[in-house]
Amino acid sequence: MAADVTLPFDIDRLGFTVSWEHRCGPGAPLYVRVSRGDIVLHLSEHPGHRTPGNVVRAPVADVDRLRDDVHVRADGRMRPGGLDAPDGPTLEVVDPNGNVLRFAQPGAGG
C-alpha cells in the first residue's frame, strides 16, 4: 500500500474513516485501520505485506445504497461496477494498488 494514494482513495472515494494508525518510528512503514460501518480494512506499507492484485470481499446490507454513495464520490478515473454475482448483488471497485474490493449483499443463496 502506498499511503499517499491509498488513504485518500479509501477516505474520499469510498467513505472510509481512519480508526487508528501506527508507525514503529519516524520514517517506518505505516499500518492503518480504516472502517466504514461494519467494514474494517487493515492497510500496511510493510514490504512483506504489499501484494497488488488481491481480491477482498466484504458483506454489506444494502449494496445499492453503497453504490449510490460511491458514485457520488467517484471521479472520472474511478468506474465502480455492479455485478449480479451468484451469491447476491455486488459492487466491485479497483483501488489505486490494483486490489479488487467486492462489496456483496447476500442474496437468497448467500
- Per-residue model confidence (pLDDT) at position 51: 72
pLDDT, residue 79, reads 58
Read off the pLDDT of residues 9-20 as tens digits, 9 standing for 90 and up: 999 989 999 999
Q: What is the pLDDT of residue 78?
A: 58
- Superfamily of domain 3-104 in the CATH hierarchy: 2,3-Dihydroxybiphenyl 1,2-Dioxygenase, domain 1 (3.10.180.10)
Domain boundaries, the chain: 3-104
Give me the pLDDT at residue 52, please. 72
Q: How far apart are CA 40 and CA 33, in angstroms?
A: 7
Position 32 scores a pLDDT of 94
All three cell numbers of 53, joined, read 492484485
User: For residues 72 and 19, which has the higher predicted lDDT (pLDDT)?
Assistant: 19
